[in-house]
């Protein structure tokens, strides 16, 4: 018997044992990391990034007037972009200061709510909370028309902000 035949027989037996152990233990333990779907890893990324954002917003209390400008549009044009003030507004919302957040950026409560729903969806996916996931799946998802309307609202807000000097 040649060496290649012995190796082949050993590899075949090993593969059979692996297949048997997968079928026996599949219902007893969660799937190994390499077998998890891409949607799970995407949810992990969303959960990690939004958790970090919410923690920073809760722990940091920036002043109403920024000490340095992070926005490239504002740095180049000296005009506020539609998102200017959003970081400070998120921090205000995390501290329960709703009217201060509105003053900093009127669209911040809506975006903060969307971020909270995205965090809850990601947490339900990662933690495999099926009831919560099914409840959140019933919430309306944005349609192309709704996205266009939101873009129109953002543009109207931006022009109003530029003309009014908010």
pLDDT tens string 33-73: 667 888 889 999 999 999 999 999 999 888 877 777 888 88
- Token couple for 65: 């007037």
Average pLDDT of the chain to the nearest whole number: 81
Looking at the domain assignment, is residue 22 inside a domain? no
Q: What pLDDT score was predicted for residue 124?
A: 92
Looking at the domain assignment, is residue 120 inside a domain? yes
The yes-or-no verdict on residue 10 having pLDDT over 60 is no
Looking at the domain assignment, is residue 156 inside a domain? yes
Q: What is the pLDDT of residues 67-92, one digit of tens each?
A: 778 888 888 988 888 888 888 999 99
Domain of 110 in residue numbering reads as: 36-164
Q: What pLDDT score was predicted for residue 137?
A: 86
The tally of domains found in the chain comes to 1
Buried-state track 77-109, b at ≥16 Cβ within 10 A, e below 16: eeebebbbbbbbbbbbbbeeeeebbebbbbbbb
Looking at the domain assignment, is residue 41 inside a domain? yes
Looking at the domain assignment, is residue 11 inside a domain? no
Q: What pLDDT score was predicted for residue 80?
A: 85
Looking at the domain assignment, is residue 112 inside a domain? yes
The yes-or-no verdict on residue 94 having pLDDT over 60 is yes
Looking at the domain assignment, is residue 31 inside a domain? no
Looking at the domain assignment, is residue 10 inside a domain? no
The yes-or-no verdict on residue 31 having pLDDT over 90 is no
Q: What pLDDT score was predicted for residue 35?
A: 79
């Amino acid at each position: 018997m040649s060496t290649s035949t012995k190796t082949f027989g050993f590899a075949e037996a090993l593969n059979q044992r692996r297949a048997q152990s997968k079928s026996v233990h599949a219902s007893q333990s969660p799937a190994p990391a390499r077998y998890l779907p891409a949607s799970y890893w995407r949810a992990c990324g969303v959960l990690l990034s939004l958790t970090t954002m919410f923690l920073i917003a809760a722990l940091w209390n920036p002043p109403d007037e920024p000490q340095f400008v992070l926005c490239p549009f504002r740095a180049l044009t000296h005009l506020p972009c539609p998102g200017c003030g959003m970081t400070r507004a998120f921090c205000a919302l995390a501290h329960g200061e709703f009217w201060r957040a509105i003053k900093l950026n009127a669209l911040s409560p809506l975006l903060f709510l969307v971020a909270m729903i995205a965090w809850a969806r990601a947490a339900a996916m990662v933690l495999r909370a099926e009831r919560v996931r099914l409840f959140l799946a019933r919430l309306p998802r944005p349609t192309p028309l709704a996205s266009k309307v939101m873009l129109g609202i953002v543009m109207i807000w931006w022009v109003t902000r530029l003309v009014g000097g908010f």
